[in-house]
Amino acid sequence: MGFVKVVKNKQYFKRYQVKFKRRREGKTDYYARKRLVVQDKNKYNTPKYRLIVRLSNKDVTCQVAYSRIEGDHIVCAAYSHELPRYGVKVGLTNYAAAYCTGLLLARRLLQRLGLDSLYSGATEVTGDEYNVEPVDFGPGAFRCYLDVGLARTTTGARVFGAMKGAVDGGLNVPHSIKRFPGYDAEAKKFNAEVHRAHIFGLHVAEYMRSLEADDEDSFKRQFSKYIKLD
């Protein structure tokens, strides 16, 4: 079949249908959203919860929401700008801050639902894989699905740090270790120690030391907030 030129005449514009507004603005991937929102037909009016993670230049936002016809309903939210009251003063957009924000969201949500005593989450941060085990007698673990929006899902991305924090906090989020820092795609092995180092921000500390030794001016400019707190 040869190339057919689109003739933009009166009939073309009369039948032209614009895409959704948020698609035109490049804000929503409706292909992914449909699969995150649509619930199984045999679950009737049961909400399908999403763990929404969004990153900006100065903040990490974590929310648990479910969809309705009139719009999304936010059940609970946590932000990295809340972390200074818990002891994390600076570096509010790195992997460690994303983990802490996800952890804060999980504990806040479970406390609101009265499940914080049943599902205490991971008692020790090892960086290894952890899945919430449902209790024998009582309500099941709170299940939600990761919604990363338009962010790239590369190995070691901060959105997975927030998800790991939520899982360690006691939420049931289906996931794989293949996107955590420390996973080697060629060897197909996962190094939990590398992941633990990212959770505690040890990779940032190592970079700080190397930068201070190589270029002190760049170190003072890039880590000025850290230096102020020392």
> Using one digit for the tens of pLDDT, what is the confidence trace for 115-127?
999 999 998 999 9
pLDDT tens digits, one per residue of 7-20: 899 999 999 999 99
SS3 (DSSP) at 88? coil
Q: Does residue 45 carry a pLDDT above 90?
A: no
CA distance 175 to 146: 8
Asked if 67 and 48 count as a contact pair (C-beta separation under 8 A), the reply is: yes
Q: Does residue 5 carry a pLDDT above 90?
A: no
Split at pLDDT 50, 70, 90, the class of 194 is very high
CA distance 117 to 214: 49
Split at pLDDT 50, 70, 90, the class of 2 is confident
pLDDT tens digits, one per residue of 81-94: 999 999 999 999 99
- Cβ neighbours of residue 36 closer than 8 Å, sequence gap 6 or more: 48, 50, 145, 147
pLDDT at 1: 60
The arithmetic mean of pLDDT across residues 167-191, rounded, is 94
- Cβ neighbours of residue 160 closer than 8 Å, sequence gap 6 or more: 153, 175, 179, 180
The arithmetic mean of pLDDT across residues 153-169, rounded, is 96
Split at pLDDT 50, 70, 90, the class of 3 is confident
Q: Does residue 157 carry a pLDDT above 80?
A: yes
The arithmetic mean of pLDDT across residues 132-138, rounded, is 87
Q: Given CATH 3.20.20.80, say whether it is the number of domain 26-176.
A: no
For the chain, what percent of residues have pLDDT higher than 70?
100
SS3 (DSSP) at 28? coil
DSSP state of 182: T
For the chain, what percent of residues have pLDDT higher than 90?
82
Could you tell me the residue ranges of all domains in the chain?
26-176
Tokens found for residue 149: 């929006």
SS3 (DSSP) at 77? strand
CA distance 93 to 137: 39
Asked if 180 and 164 count as a contact pair (C-beta separation under 8 A), the reply is: yes
Split at pLDDT 50, 70, 90, the class of 143 is very high
